[in-house]
Structure 1
Amino acid sequence: MYIEKGKEGSLGMWKYIPLPLAFLGLMAANYWFVTTFDVDVAAMFEQQITEKGKNRFFAENLLTFVIFLGGLFFWVKFVHRQGIRSLTTSRKKIDWKRILFMFILMGLFVVVSVTISYFIDPSQFIWNFDAEKFAILFLLSVLLIPFQTSFEEYLFRGYMMQGIGLAARNRWVPLVVTSVLFGLMHLANPEVDKIGLIILVYYIGTGFFLGIITLMDEGLELALGFHLANNLVTALLITANWTAFQTDSLFIDMSEPDKSFEVLLPVFVVFPIFIGILAKKYQWTGWKEKLMGKVS
């Protein structure tokens, strides 16, 4: 069982407190600063991009996650005395085929959805291809985005899921807590200013989706593949002036965000379909026990 894998190594519930507290405290301080001083995040991004260029701004934002992920792995290995494999999966070895399958599934969805949007109204898209800038973006994305997405998955669906599950001795509490905190982590994103707080439905809904597939599959592989595909393919394919990732992508989306398309469709249509596909492929059973049951 995946949550029980947290028992491997040197136990001590206090060890689970410092890292999440530090990271969430940093996110809370960022949100406090933005709201207290009425910071226009989009305008701040635009200024930084004008001064540095999109690729440099993009790289600087992602480099912090290299440090974050390295720090998390160091803490797990040397403080918890726990192996990275047991933080990743309940299987005897990490299933790279699961990561690849989910990456392809989500990547195809991103490509198809952008293609449909383009053919519905091509006037809302600007072809932005610049061979040199795109080549640099591709290299930066392949090298750095895996650190960002892996850190978030290992922290929320891995480390915190196991820690809270062991403390609460059940599965539904870590599912709810990690999903809500994952959504709230994005409060300072420019998308919130543009779309409004309703976008938290998407962020928290994504947290629940990733938490459900992690618990049902007894491992982090599917969540890792989904998150990587979502961020990597999107960063290369399309950007807008109101998103957290503003890149030298192939297209620039000039349209105003549609709340039903951006927020409600993924959570209430796409994610349930994905869960159905995964449940059939991996023959998931025991839903009540895996999502609501006790941790031994």
Structure 2
Amino acid sequence: MTTPAARYLALADAGCGGGWRYLPGLALIALIWIFGGAWAHALVLRLPLGAVTEFAAINASILSMLAGAVAVTALLHRRPWRTLVTPSPRVDWRRMLQGAAAWMILAAVFCAIESLLYPGRYAWNLDIGRWLPFVAAALLLTPLQCAAEELVFRGYLMQAAGRFCRHPAVPALFSSLVFTLPHLYNPEVAAYGMAIMALNYFAMGLFLAAITLRDGRLELAIGAHAGNNLLLVLFVHYEDSVFRTPSVFTAGPLDPVYSLLTLLLGAALFYAWFFRRPGTSK
């Protein structure tokens, strides 16, 4: 019987699926991201967007990655962009919402526990006049930003690795490693140390890869990623974060060890909820 992981990785065989195409494909996506992202960032910075200008500019640069993945999949591989997401005829938007809600609840609980363990780490920061306009921008841009990263790292890159090795562990580990590399330029790395932050990014990437392969589709990972980032930009903004946002709370220095431990626990609980409950196995 074909597993969900095998069905998902086999989507790379659709259209013009020759393995050699993935090397220039990855190079094209990277070039579009680097140069198109720089252009988009500079363009948005010139727009009169007020307090959301920098946030919108950073997200615009990442959205160039989405454009690159969609263009390369359609033009080089001659297959629909949807095949980066699912083997089904339609994208399951409900599955995305489920992933976002589940991860946001888990992350919010861990933030509440952290505030109890470390009194004073969280400070009330709500300025409703600044926050409400920012909510609209975040709800529009953050899911797109997360979808861009998922389509590239857990979609295109993991399917590309699957063309060379169908054992799901190899594409999962490879995509997680590559996912970690650009995040090492985030300001949190300089503030808290490369090794521990790299472990955080790698663990998050591996968790998203695992649920993608177990579910046989990308929607759950897109949702979980979006839920994580929405919580961080709208409700809890840590010092030295890559995004400077008017969140409800500001938090003192990020505790990368607590972050890693709660990430691992949250990943286990999330996985158990979606794949270990009666009636959820595929």
TM range, normalised to the smaller chain? 0.7 to 0.9
SS state at 2:250 partner: strand
Residue in 2 that maps onto 1:219: 217
| 2:100 pairs with 1:103 | yes
**Alpha-carbon distance between aligned partners in 2 of 1:24 and 1:176, rounded to the nearest angstrom:** 20
Q: Which residue does 2:276 correspond to in 1?
A: 280
1:14 corresponds in structure 2 to 20
Does the 8 A contact of 2:82 with 2:91 survive in 1? yes
Distance in 2 separating the partners of 1:276 and 1:199: 25
Instruction: Tell me which of 197, 201, 204 is aligned to 2:202.
Output: 204
Give how far 1:68 is off. Answer: 2.2
Distance, in Å, in 2 between the alignment partners of 1:205 and 1:68 is 22
1:209-258 deviations in Å (ceiling 9; x for gaps): 111111111110110110010001221001123111221111111x2332
Letter in 1 for 2:61: T
2:109 maps to 1:112: yes
Question: What are the equivalent positions in structure 2 for 1:1-296 lying under 5 Å apart?
Answer: 1-21=7-27, 55-197=52-194, 198-253=196-251, 255-267=252-264, 269-281=265-277, 283-284=280-281
List gaps (5 residues or longer) in structure 2. 1-6, 35-44
Q: In terms of mean alpha carbon deviation, does 272-281 or 112-121 score higher?
A: 112-121
Q: Could you tell me the TM-score, scaled by structure 2's length?
A: 0.84
Distance 1:84 1:26 in 2: 17
Tell me the distance in 2 between the aligned counterparts of 1:123 and 1:53: 31
Paired AA for residue 4 in structure 1: A
One-letter amino acid matched to 1:270: G
Distance 1:206 1:77 in 2: 28
The sequence identity of aligned pairs, in percent, is: 30
Pair 280,111 (structure 1): closer, same or farther in 2 beyond 3 Å: same
Structure 1 unmatched runs, 5+: 29-47, 286-296
- Provide the secondary structure at the position in 2 that maps to 1:80: coil
Taking the aligned partners of 1:242 and 1:121, their CA distance within structure 2 comes to 18
Q: TM-score, normalised by structure 1?
A: 0.80
Q: How many residues align?
A: 262
